[in-house]
A and B are shown apart, each in its own frame.
Chain A
Amino acid sequence: MKYPLLKVEKLSVCYKNTDALAVHNLSFALRERESVGLIGESGSGKSSLALTIMGLLRSSAEVHGSIRLKNVELTCLPEQELENYRWSKIALVFQNSLEVLNPVMTIGEQIAECIRRHLGLNNLQAKKKTTELLLMTGLDPLWAKAYPHQLSGGMRQKVLIAMALSCDPEVLLVDEPTMALDAANKDEIIKLLLSLQKEKGFSMLVISHEFPVISAMTSRLLVIYSGNVVEEGNTQEVINNPMHPYTRGLVYASPAVNPYRDMWGIPGEATMPSENQCSFLNRCSQRIDRCACELPVLQTVCEDRRVACTRGGIVTLLKGSSLCKCFHVRFREIMACSSCDIEVKAGEVTALIGESGSGKTTIAKILAGILHADRGEVFFQDRKVSGNSETSKRGGVQIVFQDALSATNEHFSIEEIVREPLDIIKWGTKNERLKIVKEALKNVQLPSDDLFLRRRAYTLSGGQRQRTAIARALVMTPKLLIADEISAMLDPSTAANLLRLLKGLQIAQGFTMLYITHDLALAQKISDKVYVMSKGKIIGHGPVRNVFRENRSICLG
């Protein structure tokens, strides 16, 4: 292992005027020639970290912890000595904006003054070096005489890079290098930085909120939330298989990662970091009581991956292992499914796709405990599922079937259908049950007045019946909803409304869904993970984008 070039340990930054904690107990190391990415929403403390490393927040913030460059402790250096380190050892490619460069000085002057200051060259030599730097970034040296406002955004970014590299720093901090640039310019800047790194051998800390940039430029990734690192690991692996709910939320909100999927941001607002609770608490869909009383620390959960989560990262809600089911029809044996492994993670929509007769519904029924598997076991929240152990309680598993017309008794009134599960488990008083029923109906956009409640089910349309069935599942406030082709018998508009509704409920209540469908387009649109089934076997699984890229022929065939 190479000796770390820059080592940040237990760094906390607290702004004096607002008492806002921008960075909290943050540690990381940057090795020689390494590129580390730092991703997080705006306001997560990314830029504060860069400014702190440069020692620019000294007057406005309190900084605790240590920042070491090789063996020099930067936080202890007096201001005047720090000035010698700035730019010559650690340089910062500032976030691109019109005012980041001095408007009344020419580009050349602004680059040359760093060279004169740190390298001790005279005017003529500095000018020559400035020309070289501009050429290096692919700018015509004539631009040295231009003023910042005369440059385009992409050119200004190049000037910022040339300026940062003017004194050959060992560490380059890059703050949002491609923000507000078009695709072509973005690509050019990324390539430029990578080739310059190869040539000059500096280490890079890339700060960005864009996954494509981080993915292209870095090998290791830190995910930062409210000033805390919540996940750390290999860049590609973190993006492909996020293990912290926050990382997952970021990945899923990025259309660049998931071009087909609907965009859903992480609900809620970031809160101030606190000493004794998880800062992601209010936005997390898998929170438990313990999350509110302790601050999770970064722990290794598997090789090369560390996650700060009280629950050890995203939990696996439902797990079926080597499930087998054989149906005996007269003299034939039909293997509906054989040694199928399936995992559903909390807060995700997992799609199970495959042609009709591939065994999807069988698996769904086994997972819900309706059907008993010949072999294999099902675990829900690490509890073994047997019979209706998980379906007969609130906060468990619920299943909604494909054919709502036969799944709901047409002679029941709407109220009776939706209330039935509560009646069975004898939950609450009559009034309480009615309240919940009405709420569930409202949630699925059905009327909840007495007239509607008294109507018989046969008076409803197919779509209304399906939504009634969903309401029936929702009164049990399930953690996991297994939805078997629930939109197949609906017209496109009703189906779209229903699916958006479920997704909205998922975002709001944080429940998890296993969605079974043969509709590939739909699966790409709504799901996070995909399992592909064919002839009773699971033949592929993973993040939607990967599965559809790798198994295109299988899926379409």
Chain B
Amino acid sequence: MKSYAKKHYLLVLLAVITINFFLPRLMPGDPFLYLSVEEGEVAAAFSEEQIAQYKAYYGMDKPLYMQFYDYILKLLQGDLGYSIYYNTSVLEMILLRIPWTIFIVLCALFLSSFFGTLLGAISARLREKPADKFMYLFMVVFSEIPSFLLGIVFLFVLAAKLKWFPLSGGITIFAPHTSMLSYMGDLLHHAALPIITLTPAGLGNFYILARNSMLTVLSKDYINTAKAKGLKKWQILYKHALRNALPPIIARIFLSLGSLFGGAVLIENVFAYPGVGKLMREAVLKRDYVLIQGIFLTVAVTMLLMNWLADVIYKKLDPRVFR
């Protein structure tokens, strides 16, 4: 990779770390207030001295720039610190929760990108025909429905009313699983609703992108060349057209991870799914700076990694991009 690109990534990372540090501290309230308040009560149970002691313990009595300096120093050693509320290692907590989120996000991503691209390509081939027009209208409307709204509807209808899916959680607690298969089935059963809730928004996006991309490519001269060469229809469509239409779709797959993750935060809370999103909400409610920072950082770094991966793959797909 070119050195300027490396510099860009480094710069973005630095900005992320900085924002990540200051943003939670701009929120009203502080962690010790929540630490000292029992659920449902208002008055603080901790005395001033106790709180001051806590603050000193977590280094929060120091000036802000010193705290920032300490934070960076610890980060460099790979230490994300200890949660103030839960009193456990942030890294461990995140590692425990993140697979759940990754699972539903990836599933939704796969479903939306695969079917979106497929439908988009079909739509492009049937251009201006009723099927294309109908599909286009349907997708545009469908993808505009906010996912949390969809989630609530699913929850009421599919889970509460029809009882096809469990109401909440990631797995049936205390259920005896005799085989790996039944365990996996249970996992999927719980994940199904969050996944199908997350999918539509992306599906519409991928559909529109794939349709446009295919339409552009199908009007290019080289498609005409391929036709003139007497190649079979499927050869033209899959070998010549799709390969040219794919790069922007691949790029979008990686870039849509961000919005998909944002969606997951809401959905996890709707379905009480034990992912990072739910953890984040808990952390924010408790003003658990260390935990918030840890989650944000992990998410941001993941996004950056995905961006970088998109760059690399894009270059592999399109030989015209300068290597």
Interface set of A (CB-CB < 8 Å, partner B):
51, 54, 56, 82-88, 91-92, 94, 97, 99-105, 113-114, 117-118, 147, 149, 163
Contacts and interface: CB of A to CB of B under 8 A. Distances in A.
Interface in B283-323: 317-320
A101 B230 contact: no
Interface string B65-95: 0000000000000000000000000000000
Interface stretch (B154-162, B218-226, B250-258): B218-226
Interface of B: 220-222, 224-232, 235, 239-240, 243-244, 317-320
A87 B229 contact: yes
A56 to B, nearest CB: 6
A102 B229 CA distance: 13
Contact of A104 (B224, B226, B228, B244): B244
Contacts of B222: 99-103
A94 B232 contact: no
A92 B228 CA distance: 7
Contacts of A88: 230
B221 A99 contact: yes
Given A84-B230, A102-B226, A104-B320, 9 more contacts: A87-B230, A99-B221, A100-B222, A102-B222, A104-B243, A113-B229, A114-B231, A117-B229, A147-B319
Given A101-B222, A104-B243, A54 B318 contact: no
Contacts of A97: 221
Contacts of A84: 230
Nearest to A57: B224
Contact of B235 (A113, A149, A163): A113
Nearest to A50: B228
Nearest to B224: A56
A419 B255 CA distance: 81
A101 B229 CA distance: 12
Contact of B220 (A83, A99, A147): A99
Given A99-B222, A102-B240, A105-B243, A113 B230 contact: no
B259 to A, nearest CB: 28
Contacts, number: 72
Contacts of B319: 103-104, 147, 149
B230 A85 contact: yes
Contacts of A101: 222, 225
18 contacts: A83-B231, A85-B230, A86-B229, A87-B230, A94-B228, A100-B221, A102-B243, A104-B243, A104-B244, A104-B317, A113-B229, A113-B231, A113-B239, A114-B229, A114-B230, A114-B231, A147-B319, A149-B320
Contacts of A149: 319-320
Contacts of B227: 56, 86
Contacts of B220: 99
Contacts of A114: 229-231
A149 B321 CA distance: 10
A149 B318 CA distance: 11
Contacts of A54: 228
Nearest to B231: A117
A434 B13 CA distance: 85
Contact of B225 (A94, A104, A117): A94
Nearest to A92: B228
A458 B231 CA distance: 81
A77 B220 CA distance: 25
Contacts of B318: 103-104
A82 B228 CA distance: 10
A105 B244 CA distance: 9
Contacts of A103: 222, 244, 318-320
Nearest to A84: B230
A105 B241 CA distance: 11
Contacts of B225: 94, 100-102
A83 B225 CA distance: 13
A470 B76 CA distance: 93
Contacts of A51: 224
Contact of A87 (B221, B228, B244, B317): B228
By CB atoms of chain A within 10 A, which of B222, B230, B239, B320 has the most? B230
A51 B224 CA distance: 9
